[in-house]
Chains A and B, each alone.
Chain A
């Protein structure tokens, strides 16, 4: 859908000071039809990357290339892009419907198309009841929903969402994720930034991870998790038997249960020991790290 080619961005905070590098030689390619999570801690460079992608700021070096399926020139390309900014602000004195009309008309939609698409997505995102209200009377979550409707009204092929789930209650987050999955099943590409890793893990197939402005991973989430998988197992036994396995791995008492973490090479020995002593197994599983484990504990 688009590619970053060695994109760097420096900001000069003070004339005398060394420029601050927000993005450092970032290159990646976004595959079409996927939900791609754009990850990184606060200040990692996600929003800067999105601003460069949308042409709000110019890169210090490097370039961005859009796929020809999006269009040949800026106007055609941007007709196929829907964007929801982080903490969206709107024109306070316009109504929700007026704002949707505004965005629809900028995308050359007819009033009939705006009404059809607008009301469909407004209903799906449960904001249809407030479309005649001025935006100054919308709550943060309502603005987020309206922003999503506006991003979808022109039926774009690529959706760029900057922290779309922030400011939403748990139900709202689920609704947004369901719609993202639905859009993906319809063949749309979604590129969304977030620092809430469980959300990304839930909906994304691919991830792009930034750390201090540098790209640390770009590609399949499954492969990333697989690559970081340890060869360890976790066994939970009913009762306190930590002493029985003290030589095989690390043990821990969990109330009435005992937990044993052991290596793959010790698997046969552990199973034999369990069967010999006729112990009650509560659970036995291979340890698979979550995205949170990888990013915050193990490291990419």
Chain B
């Protein structure tokens, strides 16, 4: 695999999306976020900086996920339907280089969104005299990694089904992944060895998205073990590679009609 080719594809994918209306959307989101932080902080009693951070991180998480899901679902579909993929694959570019480049390009947009909205969030946090904690940066990194993983899941589903179903399946995987650890704690599951085994096996296949949510630690406990933080980093990268590999496998076998 030639990473230079993937880099070229990612660069022009980024430029293409950047030049579309997304930048305006991100900036509007930023102003909505700023307004939201201000209003919520004004109406809160006691600790406006925490409220600003809570709202900001929540909004950041929501928008990056929305970009990942809605842009991810059409990222390859549009290439196939508009046949622009022919113009690229008729050059010395393999399908995996193409796919990696497209994923990196859209990940660049996710990063841009994360960085811009993080600036708004932290600006308000410091405006209300919030204190710096490395967990804030970790939380932002986790949100970004989570959105990249969601992007890869959506792309995988978009290759095997249509856009609408890809979105529905991806949201279902996200909700299941977020809830699955909680399900294991339910009494009705715990009391059955069979159900415990089934849910445990499913939890190995579906990424556990609740791991990425460290907002409560940021807001209240203000500490988290490095092993957990780096472990989650490795966990998200492993699942991302698995989904990238699965998508490459599907794309390499697919007839590009």
Contact = CB atoms under 8 A, between A and B. Distances in A.
Interface of A: 11, 51, 54-58, 74-79, 81-83, 85, 88-91, 93-94, 98, 102-103, 105-108, 134, 147, 150, 154, 160
Contacts of B16: 91, 93-94
Contacts of A74: 92, 94
Nearest to B253: A58
User: Main secondary structure on chain A at its contact with chain B?
Assistant: mixed
Nearest to A105: B8
Interface in B175-223: none
B134 interface: no
B12 A98 contact: yes
A79 B82 CA distance: 23
User: Main secondary structure on chain B at its contact with chain A?
Assistant: helix
Given A89-B82, A91-B84, A102-B8, A54 B90 contact: yes
12 contacts: A75-B94, A83-B86, A88-B87, A89-B82, A93-B19, A102-B12, A106-B5, A106-B88, A106-B91, A106-B93, A107-B92, A147-B87
Q: Which of B2, B16, B93 has the most C-beta atoms of chain A within 10 angstroms of its own C-beta?
A: B16
Interface in B11-42: 12, 15-17, 19-20
Given A56-B256, A98-B12, A76 B89 contact: no
Q: Which of B12, B82, B88, B90 has the most C-beta atoms of chain A within 10 angstroms of its own C-beta?
A: B90
Contacts of A58: 255
Interface of B: 2, 4-5, 8-9, 12, 15-17, 19-20, 82-84, 86-94, 255-257
A103 B88 CA distance: 7
A129 B16 CA distance: 21
A83 B8 contact: no
Contact of B12 (A51, A88, A91): A91
A98 B9 CA distance: 12
Task: Give the 10 A-B CB pairs with smallest separation, nearest first.
Answer: A83-B90, A93-B19, A57-B255, A56-B256, A75-B92, A78-B92, A106-B91, A89-B82, A105-B8, A102-B12
A160 B89 CA distance: 13
Contacts of B2: 75
B256 A98 contact: no
Contact of A103 (B20, B91, B256): B91
A56 B89 contact: yes
Contacts of B89: 54-56
B86 A85 contact: yes
A55 B89 CA distance: 9
A94 B15 contact: yes
B166 to A, nearest CB: 21
B94 A106 contact: no
A78 B82 CA distance: 22
A12 B179 CA distance: 40
A89 B83 contact: yes
A74 B90 CA distance: 10
A147 B86 CA distance: 12
Contacts of A56: 86, 89, 255-257
A54 B17 CA distance: 27
B91 A78 contact: yes
